[in-house]
Structure 1
Amino acid sequence: MGVVGCNNDGYLNDAKYSEPLPWIGIYIAAASLVCLLAMAADLIHGIGHRKFWFPCKFFTLNSTSLTLIAVAIKLCVDLNTSMPGREDQLAKLSSAVLMCTIMANCMPSLGSMENQEIFMNVMALGILVITLIVNVGMEIGTGVIYVYMKEHVSILISMLVLLGILSFSASVVPSTKSYLEMKYCVRHELASKECAANGKGDKPVIERLKVDLMKYWMMSQTTSPQFVMGRSATCTASGAISLLSAAILAEAILTSYLMKRSLKFCNGQSDYKWSITFILVIQCVAVVVGTVAPAIRWFTAIKFRCPNLRNGGYKKEFKLEYYWIRYLVEMKESPLTIRVKNRRCRKLAHNARNTFLDACIILQTVIVFISKVIRLISIFFFRGIFSCCDLFKSLKNRLWFNSTIPLSNSGSEDDADSKLDLSRFVLYLEGEDDLVHVMVTNNYHAVHHWIQKGKKKKPKILIHLLEGTIISRGFRGVAEFDNHQVPCLDSKEPQNCWALPVVTLTAIAISLPNIRRHLIKHLVTAVNEGLRYIRLIEDCFDMEGNFINLKKAAEMVWLGIDLHNQWLDIDLHKISHHKETPNEVFQQFSDEAKKMYTEEKTTNQHLCLKLSTSKWPIKILATNCMYRISESMLLKYEKKYRYTNEQLFLEMEAMISGIMGACMTNLEKVISTKCANFVIEKRERSVREAAYILGKTGRILDLIEKTTVPPLDEHQMRSIDEWRLAYKLEM
């Protein structure tokens, strides 16, 4: 009997070793497909958000992406599997080109990383790239790669240059961030003063907020870490190298299929068999898709720089700005934190460190110089095309001049915006002063775009409800929902939040008997829309978390109402059918709430004694609110003959509308607060969200501006209890 694993002759049976390779090929193709989809998502995201420097949102340098890349380029590092055919050799080349494409794509993502994270990710990528280069070199030497020698050598050189560009670009991130943050603080203070002065003017609230948002947007956009990296000389140079790598792959494919006689391939089939076709096709598509974003960055950069060179500004291209080497210089000047007692060893370590950093500074200078030379050559190559385009635009403007004359000078929105000088709020690095006008032009209408996008998603039902109530009745619903004459269930009374009374009143309103279905649906939809903004306002101002349980109680109650037509397991549909008068509905809710409150309070007595009222269990808070509101409704509408059921429903609807409207008087402050986000990575998104919210709630802000608001200061307006007290004092 033979030994397990040996053949009949006693030798190791390695015939089966290659059997899994086709499935490993599918694994490689799948990893390449994920990389393709991630790069495509970033491309679509950039186009959709009009960010033609294409930030990395889906495909960034991290542990997950590095693992995927390692799988996708496995063919390049496979030293001993024979690859005899045309597709086999092309797949080897496509894997190397894919690596170049990925590196060029991921460069902007360095800007959004912390220093330690940058170091770890760049080191991991460096190990991966060096391994690939060494293995491909060995494969060329052993004959595993026997065609496309020049192409492989060119790609390896490009890959090494890209690694150097990416590594030394990473060292610039800390210094550019700190410099732009310092400038941002100064400009933010200026913008805050101007916005405060602007708020005292006679302009409508929407116009005031739009002007404020434009200033903050310009600051946040131009200091976006990924945008700073994306517009740098090294990043644009990486786009040119990526495009060149893709062109080399295209040349190899065309040569192998159109000029078959010029290349001779070996007979036979690789062990990857049919899977090699999948790998080649997917990786070629990934290279095409992945090259688009870096190529557009490169093309956009040379287009913006071209007018400056026409005026003799090419000399500036060869200047090395200090921020490129600032971090390395600061490292050199800082003391060496090494615990060595021997003075000679400390001196040796210090000198070695300085020598290494001097070499890095020289290498950084060379890389920046090469990047600028690539950009300069590109500009000289394309300047003729740009001149022809400018000439064509000029001719077109002259021919169509008469048709573009405005019919009236009534002062459109764009005309008003054109008077606003935003160049003061553009934050830029040394050597980028020529790009200020370009950055202003490209970002000028971004806020308007997001406002318009928000307008398309405005809460129509909520607006309709508010239009029908708060103009005629104001915000008095805040004072009416909870009568101070109602006896408390406990010696300590919990605070109120905005959302919980709204959802509790809605539960009671839709339980009233004989109410038409469309009225209930209209109210539920309006409350659903309104709660989004109430949550936004409460989350914005509840920084200390005092209202967390109250907000959770509101969410729990509303989830039951919206999805199951229930208030804490009580079927609202049954109540509306089994009760004949509103007072019976109010009484049942009061009794049920009181019963549940007592049960929950007994169960959680020890918690209630230790915790403040706002941190009581959410069921206690929900039942207490229901008890007080249902008892208040009993007191308010005890003369039931004055109202029909439907009239009473509309009265309660107006009360809900008044509470939501009062809460939304804080929207202006929320929008302003979102603009003041000091976290550099979140700043741009925060301002964009503020513009989007302004677009969605513009009509609501108009309504609020036309309605009389009680004399409350900024902090009092955030609290529903302060509103109730203000209306109580007026009575």
Structure 2
Amino acid sequence: MGKLGCNIDGNLDDTKFSQPMPWIGLYVAAASLAFLISMAADVIQGIRRQLFWFPCKFSSLNATSLTLLAVATKLSVDLNTSMPRRQDQLAKLSSTILICTVMGNSMPSLGTMENSDMFTNIVALGILVITVIVNVCIQLATGVIYVFWGEHVFIMFIMIVLLLLLSFSALTVPNTKQYLELKYNKRHQLALKEGSNETSKPVVDKLRKDLMKYWVMAHTGSPQFVMARSVTCTASGAFCLLSAATLAQAMLRSHFMPWSFKFCSGESDYHWSTTSVLVTQTIAVGIGTVGPACRWFIAINFSSPKRGNKTSRKSFKVENYWIQTLVEMKECPFTLLGIRKRHCRKLAHDAKDHFLNLCIGVQIGIVLISKGIQFISIFFVSWILSCCNCCKGLLKFRFRNAESASESPPNSKLDLGRFVLHLEGEDAMVGMMMKRSCDPTDYWFRMGEKRRPKYLIKLLERSSQEFKGVVEFDSNQVLSLDSEEPPNCWALPVVTLASIAVVLPNISPKLIEELICSVNEGMIYVRLVENNLDTRKELINIRRAAEGVWVRVELYRKWLDVDLHKLSLQAKSPREALEKLSDTAKNNLVEFHKNHTPQCLKHGPSKWPIKVLAANSMYRITQTMLLNRQSRDDQIGEKLFEAVAAMISDILGACLTNLQRFISAKSLSSSIEEREDSVRHAVHILGKAEKILELQQHRALPGLDPHQMASIDEWRSFYMQKPLPLNPSPSESEAASNSIDLYLTID
């Protein structure tokens, strides 16, 4: 009978029902910990990037976070489990306050959502909030929650207000995105026009100035930043602070004023897990309040009279973009295909108009209340702002000379003010936004400078003036094993030549290691160029082949199944090593063509397996070296290594002539939600590649269109039709003899 859930008397045995409760509490603590980590990650990233309005990247409002929030608030909706102790009642309160914190912290994430996702998330959040409020009310009535009544009522009010702020703020997102996109296009044309008039400037200086303009536009037009600086988000920050203060005072009163509370004796079914839930959620509330509090403080700092902003009736004006969506919905006809009677259709239209009028009134009220909260907050925090301004004045007076030397000229900031994107009513914030938007570009540029590819730069300094290695790594004299050859990409010949360099005998391990490091650094930029500028579909499989080969060469010193290090020790001469590589590659190609019918090969060579593509590249390059035999030389191994390194340098150098175009395209070709990160990435790449761009300025480039410059086959076709110059300088002649002619002599 025990197995059926009944005791000896035949009654239901419910003694085991409460046994899993501590583990359920631990599950709730784990969900709360996930929120803590995500919000802490956003705080750390905001501080690290000097974005003190703290964009939501990890703690955004989505299906995952809503599911975790439902789990984390399990104690709030538990109707029948007794919670007698102090930590039990505080855990009930902390669960409801966590909802307020999550709503206030994730409000800027509305700017990154599509309309359908935003509607779904708001509805789901509304259902969760209403469920929690109803359950808390039931517990207040039944006595499950018997202390902190005032705190619970106040938090439920804040939850409703925050839900309204989120819902009605979401209505403005589509219109603000559209408006800012139009302003961005106009400023973008202005930036391009100014950039075209500065062709005499060095490449790096011109790119830095352009990227600073694009950063100001991308940052001030970022939907998250627009939402974060809105008055409704400012109000949500104030309410988040109030909710966190409510939890703090409840905990302090319960610990230091125990006589004001009378807790029940006994123990909850959750046992020890309640304490873990309370501790985790308290820390999560504290960390999650950092973002909303900073947004609130920065917003009132912008609007402070100490900044020269005067409070007037215009400050309480409701701008058009707040109600534009609702007005457009009201003006749109209400199509009712299923209703034929004119009277019923009229009633439906009237109901729609009355409902939207109500929504417009609520929206206006929310905006006015939010502006009122901001206005009141200024007076409460004005003494703190006065102290901060005094401290800043003292610091500026003390370090005036140092700051004047490090800051950029004021004229540049005034010029950049034209590229600040702002909404109606934000004119007073332009100066402050511009100042905060210009500084990060210098920071990211310096971060890029610290991570410069030193091995790659050293290798590129050896490249020839006309990048001759682009043509000479693969000769037309090599007989093809197939009627059609696959197209070339930049990466595959580089990794193939690097494999050959590793297999050459009697080469210093230090030289090989430096070359591997150089190619590894260069492959990062090759991927950027290939994935963003040369996006032909037939090259996708070939690039995969290059990636697959390079991973094994770098980590294991293997090309396919050939141990390059072992082969270099066994080979008696460079020629023997090359012949073994060539034979292995040829065998792979022959076996592939033997086992595949013509029907399987009809898709073209670009669809070959990656091992076959790698073998084809190895066969052609090794055969090119073996066919060009001229004389004997005992030191040919070292000279061949130098020649291979020179060819790698030429191919990488030719590829990286596209970096300037990539950096410019990276800052322009993204959507409004991703534009800020794209410009940040472009600035970082510019800092890393500054020396590379300076080296490329002094190279002779082929007369190709910009889109042709991204293709190695276009380079090869151009040089094959137009022979390379025959009158190089003496230094170039010596380099060419060392890097080209001598590697052709193999013994």
> TM-score w.r.t. structure 1 length?
0.95
Aligned pair in 2 of structure 1 residues 346, 542: CA closer, same or farther (>3 Å)?
Answer: farther
User: Structure 1: how far apart are the matches of 2:78 and 2:277?
Assistant: 14
CA offset at residue 366 of structure 1? Answer: 0.9
Mapped contact 1:2–1:10 kept (Cα < 8 A): no
Mapped contact 2:465–2:700 kept (Cα < 8 A): no
Q: Which 5+ residue runs of structure 1 have no aligned equivalent?
A: 407-411
User: Structure 2: how far apart are the matches of 1:152 and 1:192?
Assistant: 56
- 1:598 equivalent to 2:590? Answer yes
Matched residue, 1:163? 163
Instruction: In structure 1, give the amino acid aligned to 2:168.
Output: F
CA offset at residue 402 of structure 1? Answer: 6.1
Q: Aligned match of 1:730 in 711, 723, 727?
A: 723
Q: Per-residue CA shift, 1:352-390, capped at 9, x if unaligned?
A: 122111111111111111111111100111223323332
Q: Aligned match of 1:548 in 527, 530, 540?
A: 540
- The correspondence of residues 496-515 of structure 1 with structure 2, limited to 5 A, is 496-515=488-507
Q: SS at the partner of 2:537?
A: coil
Matched residue, 2:633? 641
User: Structure 1: how far apart are the matches of 2:371 and 2:64?
Assistant: 32
Matched residue, 1:285? 283
User: Structure 2: how far apart are the matches of 1:396 and 1:622?
Assistant: 62
Q: Aligned match of 1:581 in 567, 573, 580?
A: 573
User: Structure 2: how far apart are the matches of 1:413 and 1:393?
Assistant: 16
Q: Per-residue CA shift, 1:84-133, capped at 9, x if unaligned?
A: 22111111111111111111111111111111101111111101101111
Instruction: In structure 2, give the amino acid aligned to 1:243.
Output: L
Question: Mean alpha-carbon deviation: is it higher for 558-567 or for 662-671?
Answer: 558-567
User: Structure 2: how far apart are the matches of 1:419 and 1:294?
Assistant: 28
User: Structure 1: how far apart are the matches of 2:58 and 2:399?
Assistant: 43
- 1:620 equivalent to 2:640? Answer no
User: Structure 1: how far apart are the matches of 2:345 and 2:438?
Assistant: 55
Matched residue, 1:459? 453
Matched residue, 2:212? 214
Mapped contact 1:560–1:566 kept (Cα < 8 A): yes
User: Structure 2: how far apart are the matches of 1:526 and 1:400?
Assistant: 43
Q: SS at the partner of 2:304?
A: helix
Aligned pair in 2 of structure 1 residues 529, 607: CA closer, same or farther (>3 Å)?
Answer: farther
Mapped contact 1:340–1:346 kept (Cα < 8 A): no
- 1:428 equivalent to 2:422? Answer yes
Q: SS at the partner of 1:18?
A: coil
Instruction: In structure 2, give the amino acid aligned to 1:125.
Output: L
- The correspondence of residues 8-87 of structure 1 with structure 2, limited to 5 A, is 10-87=10-87
User: Structure 2: how far apart are the matches of 1:438 and 1:405?
Assistant: 18
- The correspondence of residues 359-378 of structure 1 with structure 2, limited to 5 A, is 359-378=358-377
Matched residue, 2:357? 358
Question: Mean alpha-carbon deviation: is it higher for 515-524 or for 535-544?
Answer: 535-544
Matched residue, 2:310? 312
- The correspondence of residues 342-491 of structure 1 with structure 2, limited to 5 A, is 342=340, 343-401=342-400, 414-415=408-409, 418=412, 421-467=415-461, 469-470=462-463, 474-491=466-483
> TM-score w.r.t. structure 2 length?
0.93
Of all paired residues, the percent bearing the same amino acid is 55
User: Structure 2: how far apart are the matches of 1:399 and 1:303?
Assistant: 23
Aligned pair in 2 of structure 1 residues 345, 309: CA closer, same or farther (>3 Å)?
Answer: farther
User: Structure 1: how far apart are the matches of 2:566 and 2:390?
Assistant: 75
User: Structure 1: how far apart are the matches of 2:3 and 2:685?
Assistant: 74
User: Structure 2: how far apart are the matches of 1:533 and 1:698?
Assistant: 13
- 1:92 equivalent to 2:111? Answer no
Instruction: In structure 1, give the amino acid aligned to 2:486.
Output: P
User: Structure 1: how far apart are the matches of 2:629 and 2:448?
Assistant: 40
CA offset at residue 143 of structure 1? Answer: 1.6
Instruction: In structure 1, give the amino acid aligned to 2:327.
Output: V
Q: SS at the partner of 1:681?
A: coil
Matched residue, 2:238? 240
Mapped contact 1:42–1:59 kept (Cα < 8 A): yes
CA offset at residue 6 of structure 1? Answer: 4.1
Instruction: In structure 2, give the amino acid aligned to 1:578.
Output: Q
Mapped contact 1:96–1:155 kept (Cα < 8 A): yes
Mapped contact 1:308–1:314 kept (Cα < 8 A): no
Q: Per-residue CA shift, 1:159-213, capped at 9, x if unaligned?
A: 1111111111111111111111121122222222323333x22x21111111111
Q: Which 5+ residue runs of structure 2 have no aligned equivalent?
A: 725-747
CA offset at residue 676 of structure 1? Answer: 1.1
Mapped contact 2:220–2:437 kept (Cα < 8 A): no
Q: SS at the partner of 1:435?
A: helix
User: Structure 2: how far apart are the matches of 1:148 and 1:419?
Assistant: 52
Matched residue, 2:531? 539
Q: SS at the partner of 2:76?
A: helix
Aligned pair in 2 of structure 1 residues 416, 488: CA closer, same or farther (>3 Å)?
Answer: farther
Q: Per-residue CA shift, 1:539-589, capped at 9, x if unaligned?
A: 112334231121112112212212222222122223212222222223333
User: Structure 1: how far apart are the matches of 2:576 and 2:625?
Assistant: 11
Mapped contact 1:3–1:10 kept (Cα < 8 A): no
Aligned pair in 2 of structure 1 residues 219, 396: CA closer, same or farther (>3 Å)?
Answer: closer
Matched residue, 1:409? none
Aligned pair in 2 of structure 1 residues 449, 543: CA closer, same or farther (>3 Å)?
Answer: same
Instruction: In structure 2, give the amino acid aligned to 1:383.
Output: S
Matched residue, 2:728? none
Q: Per-residue CA shift, 1:19-58, capped at 9, x if unaligned?
A: 2222211111111111111111111111111111111111
CA offset at residue 644 of structure 1? Answer: 2.8
Instruction: In structure 1, give the amino acid aligned to 2:333.
Output: P
Mapped contact 1:31–1:71 kept (Cα < 8 A): yes
- 1:680 equivalent to 2:672? Answer yes
Mapped contact 1:548–1:615 kept (Cα < 8 A): no
Matched residue, 2:249? 251
User: Structure 1: how far apart are the matches of 2:434 and 2:628?
Assistant: 58
Q: Per-residue CA shift, 1:283-305, capped at 9, x if unaligned?
A: 11111111111101101111111
